[in-house]
Amino acid sequence: MSDETLELGQRTLEERSRALFRESVENVDMRVRSRLTQARHAALFAADRSSRRSWFMRVPVWGSAAGVSAAAVLGVALWFGGPLAQHGAAPAAESAFEDLDIVASSDEGSGGDAMEMLQDDIDFYAWADKAANAEPSA
Amino acid sequence: MSRFDTLPAACMVWDGPAPAPGGVVLEQTRELDKFLAEIERRAFRMAQVALRDPDDALDVVQDAMLKLARNYAARPSAEWRPLFYRILENGIRDLQRRRTVRKRFMTWLPGPKEDPDNEAQDPLDTVADTAAAVPEQLMQDQAIAKLESSLRELPARQREAFTLRNFEGLDVAETAAAMGCSEGSVKTHYSRAVHTLREQLGEVW
């Protein structure tokens, strides 16, 4: 069989089968057509909902990213300049002021004792200095 | 490299670009409606040829529509057709696989065995059709029935290649994208399908 005959046979088969198929498509009954229409509408509804959801689905992503960033900024701010940082630095400053108050408040009952203690310390440091600079005796 | 080489697999979910403005979405929905309306009956018939059962064919087409609309509506409309048929053919294959498993399982169960002859006989084929009163129509129906049974006997890939190329009019690249294979494979499957169909239908046609 020649190539031309083969080609003609193939073309005939393609055209005939295509025509039959198209005719069968035209003859699809009304029940099926109705169900296909319903399926199409359901698909379009799903597409619409999906596009809306894809927009809203991104909101939590952006929201969570923004939330994490805000929390980080707030954390840094609180750490360095917020009430926590002040609270953390307070003991040293307060103790220094308290010490000074105690030392300076000579009018109060405990202030006199403190001044005496400070005076004792000065006497002690003077004696220690003299002892350290003294020539060894032997 | 064909223009469809970048198509994602049908099982993948399209993440999609940033949401389009409302007008664009509406236009896209209209376009998708038009596309599905144009394709739905042919898709149904192709599924019916493969599955025989019209309800199964409707289910598979409906599922393909939903998946396309949900996951690929934002893709360029030129890609919809191969994507749709890829989803459809996957659905047909899944259903056929499930049927095979169910049939194997049923053979283990006690009870009346299914008669393969009866199973192959579609009850709809036995229903008298009033339209068949005209001899020409009768001949047409017989020719269609013969074509369908011949297509059903083809290996799945050959049937897919033949129906997509010849009935749906996809070109080789689109068919390859829909079947998830190379263009060379499409040509081979198509050629074998035509050869087999000519052998089977030659005497009738």
Binned at pLDDT 50, 70 and 90, residue A48 comes out as confident
The reply to whether A55 and A1 lie within a common domain is yes
Q: Which position has the token pair 């006690």?
A: B110
- The confidence score (pLDDT) of residue B10 equals 43
Complex ipTM above 0.95?
A: no
Whether A8 maps to a domain, the answer reads: yes
A38 inside domain: yes
A3-46: pLDDT as tens digits? 777 778 888 899 999 999 999 999 999 999 999 999 999 999 98
Mutate to test the interface with A, among B27, B33, B45 (most CBs of A within 10 A): B45
Q: To the nearest whole number, what is the mean pLDDT of chain A?
A: 71
Same domain, A57 and A12: yes
For chain B, what percent of residues have pLDDT higher than 90?
Answer: 59
- CA-nearest residue to B202 within chain A is A13
Query: Is B9 within the bounds of a domain?
Result: no
Query: Is the residue at A70 inside a domain?
Result: no
Residue A86, domain member (yes or no): no
Number of domains in chain A: 2
Distance CA B62, CA B56 (A): 10
Tell which B residues from 97 to 126 touch A, by Cβ distance under 8 Å: none
Token pair recorded at residue A108: 């109060």
Domain span at residue A109 reads 91-138
Asked, for residue B2, whether it belongs to a domain, the answer is no
DSSP 3-state of A48:
helix
Residues B31, A131: Cα–Cα separation, whole Å: 103
> Which residues from B are below 8 Å from A12, CB to CB?
205
Which residue of chain A comes nearest to B200, CA vs CA? A13
- Res. B178: pLDDT tops 60: yes
Of A61, A77, A99, the domain-final residue: A61
For residue B12, being part of any structural domain is answered with: no
Provide CB contacts within 8 A for B138, sequence distance 6+.
Answer: B132
Query: Count of CB atoms within 10 A of residue B168's CB?
Result: 20
Q: Cα–Cα distance between B107 and A132 in angstroms, integer?
A: 109
Of A28, A39, A44, the CB nearest to B45: A28
| Domain-embedded: residue B184 | yes
Contact status of B149 with chain A (Cβ, < 8 Å): no
CB contact (8 A) between residue B45 and residue A25 = yes
Per residue in A73-93, pLDDT (tens digit) is 777 777 766 555 555 444 555
Residue A45 lies in a domain: yes
Whether A61 shows a pLDDT value over 60: the answer reads no
| Domain at B170, CATH number | 1.20.140.160
Is residue B192 a part of any domain in this protein?
yes
For A34, the 3-state DSSP assignment is helix
Residues A56 and A96 in one domain: no
Domain extent at residue B102? 22-201
DSSP letter, residue B52:
-
* Pair (A52, A102) in one structural domain: no
Query: In terms of DSSP H, where are the helices of chain B?
Result: 22-51, 54-72, 80-108, 116-120, 123-126, 135-153, 156-162, 172-179, 183-201
Tally of CB atoms within 10 A around A2: 7
Residue B10 located in a structural domain: no
Judged by CB atoms closer than 8 Å, whether chains meet at B42 and A47 is answered as no
CA-wise closest residue to A39 among B27, B200, B69, B166: B69
CA distance B33 to B27: 10
Record the tokens describing residue B158, joined without a space. 């050959």
Six-digit token string for B110: 């006690």
- B20: pLDDT strictly greater than 80: no
